[in-house]
Amino acid sequence: MDRIYNIKRKKIGSNIDQFDVNSNQASDTSTVFPEEIRDTRYRREDHRRIWNYLELLFSMLLDSFNRKYPVPKKTVVVITVALLYLISPIDISPDILPLIGFVDDVAVFAFAFSLIKDDLENYRAWKLIESGK
């Protein structure tokens, strides 16, 4: 029992002198964020943009099967891997868990669309040129 009471107590003092206190400044708001980060509110266009990319992807695949448009190999590989991950029973989080099980699937498809976004935009430009002929 003597060991317990024999502990040296550390003096707890104020360490306010370590901080630079400026009475004119109420808080630190000097951090400036880029516009993309500051404006991260919910936007309705986001869902429409995802739907448009899905429609564009299916249209690109259809034109590829009809041999009208050559799909880049990177796009084929990314979409194949994303679809195999969706079909595969091996997931980061199992699909049996409600809501959490599907979050990883959505994240994989969001990542896949971010990788092939440029190819989809190139296809959209090609389609506009083809429809203008």
Interval 92-121: pLDDT, tens: 777 677 777 778 888 888 899 889 999 999
> Structure tokens of 87?
């079909």
User: pLDDT, tens digit, for every residue of 27-82?
Assistant: 555 555 555 555 555 455 566 777 888 899 999 999 999 999 999 999 999 999 99
Burial class (CB in 10 A: 0-12, 13-18, 19+), 93: middle
Q: What is the mean pLDDT of residues 17-31?
A: 55
- The structure's pTM equals 0.58
Q: Higher pLDDT residue, 16 or 133?
A: 133
Count of residues in the chain: 133
Give the type of residue at 79.
I
Taking a C-beta distance cutoff of 8 angstroms, is the pair 77, 57 a contact? Answer: no
For helices 45-65 and 100-132, the axis angle rounded to 10 degrees is 60
pLDDT for residue 12 is more than 80? no
Q: What is residue 21's predicted lDDT score, i.e. its pLDDT?
A: 56
Burial class (CB in 10 A: 0-12, 13-18, 19+), 59: middle
pLDDT for residue 16 is more than 60? no
